[in-house]
Structure 1
Amino acid sequence: MAVTDSDASTARPAVLAGRGLAFGYHATDPAPVFTDVSVEVLSGEVLAVLGPNGGGKTTLLRLLAGSLTPDAGRIVLDGAAVRRTRRGTAGLRRRVQLVFQDPDDQLFSASVTQDVSFGPLNQGLAEREVRDRVAWALAALDITGLAERPTHLLSFGQRKRVVLAGALAMRPDVLVLDEPTAGLDPAGVESLLATLEGLRSAGTTLVVSTHDVDLAHRWADRALLLDRAVLAVGPAREVLADPALLSAARLRPAWGPAVGSALRAAGALPAAAPDPATPDDVIRLGG
């Protein structure tokens, strides 16, 4: 399957990249997850990584964030290869923060403040700096009111926000999010997206794995389709409007392009107009 791309990479530098990555969980599966995967994450973008279960999305995210070490290939941060030393890995993890799909995999402190402060404290920061970072991260996630709440009394959505606040308190350049909207109700999804969009507007780069084709089509700048190899990468609204690419990645068609085609066929949308991203876009057309 041909890989698509655009000239976006020439407009913005790559803050993070994987070059020729190979990895396998050899103790449980003799077959590698992938043998030669390369990806660039451009500064300030939202990059959506999509593909089927078992296609390597979470593995790729963990490699980019330094929680796994590739069998071959290298991770590149700001144009320099990350050295496979304790110091090199620690530097990568400070600047690239990974948030897992299940918040219970990362929550371990008794209270919200304790959990969010854990990372900055382990950086050896002064107490005042830690307090300032925790207060800023809680405010950014709109959970200041939960500061002293026991973590075991939080809802699923609140726990997701606490884990994300803990990552933000590290002041990363890149946030890597594994299925961030999984398990959230529609209002929770919209609230989290508004928060993440605010972070992106403030300069944080986002890498997001998701099964939600519609979410990626609506929100991401670029999309990467992965099924043990890169099937396609390019502008999200181009990649996710291609039925053949989506079929190859074992994903369903995106809602927006399908509705856009129907509207054009009915004469309700100009040929050159972009596909709608949400039902609200369709309602506005009718108004």
Structure 2
Amino acid sequence: MGEERKRVLVVGGTGYLGQHLLEGLARANGGSRYDLAFTHHRPIPPQELIDAISPVLPFRVDLIAGDGFDAISAKFGQPHIVVNCAALSVPRACETDPVAAMATNLPSSLVNWLSSFNNNGTLLIHLSTDQVYDGTKSFYKEEDATNPVNMYGASKVAAEQFIMAKYPNYAILRSSIIYGPQTISPVAKSLPVQWIDSVLSPGKEVEFFHDEFRCPVYVKDMVNVILTLIRKWISDMSGLPPSLCSQPHLMRCSKSQ
């Protein structure tokens, strides 16, 4: 009998990080280690993504209403790992519609679905943001108090608190601006490198910010951090080793007793 293939579900798999993560998972160990699935909100998932990652199962899910999770249970089963990349992540859009931002970014339906299984065998990796801080200091640590100055950050703080209160097995990653190449299926969201190239290559003058200091992270580095967490969880299905709490971009990890 061979080793059981581990089931990995990427929530928000058609987004920027989600697509890069699916690509990394498909290539890991020659693509022979994981059974993959992803959720999408659009009516039809991008065929070019499915073709590139195949075999992979797409599921349409409404994260606000919670519709679609039963189909995952029936066809894919309980995942060993869930990576939540879904978010309303454009700060301006969050400010314009704070109700939608909170409803989308606080993963209550996802956590409730994971909690419906009879065991605590699933690791939830949740993507958060450095915008949970107010930016008045540098080199923040995970124990520093959060004090978001925009709705996006506030919704992410609420999500972190909800997960920590409601679910036992989690890792929360607070990343800064994620940059890198375009995805297999191009995303509509403006990407940092691509936007800079589009305004500078024609020789246009453009004013960038001059009073903001961030720590952009390369998308492949984020994928490697997530893959490391997945491998560690699989190697010890009872929980995450405490040493992982010091990994870059990792806020906190927890394990069942």
Higher RCO (CA 8 Å, separation ≥ 6 residues): 1
Whether these two folds match at TM > 0.5 is no
**What TM-score do you get using the length of structure 1 for normalisation?**
0.31
* Larger-Rg structure: 1
**What TM-score do you get using the length of structure 2 for normalisation?**
0.33
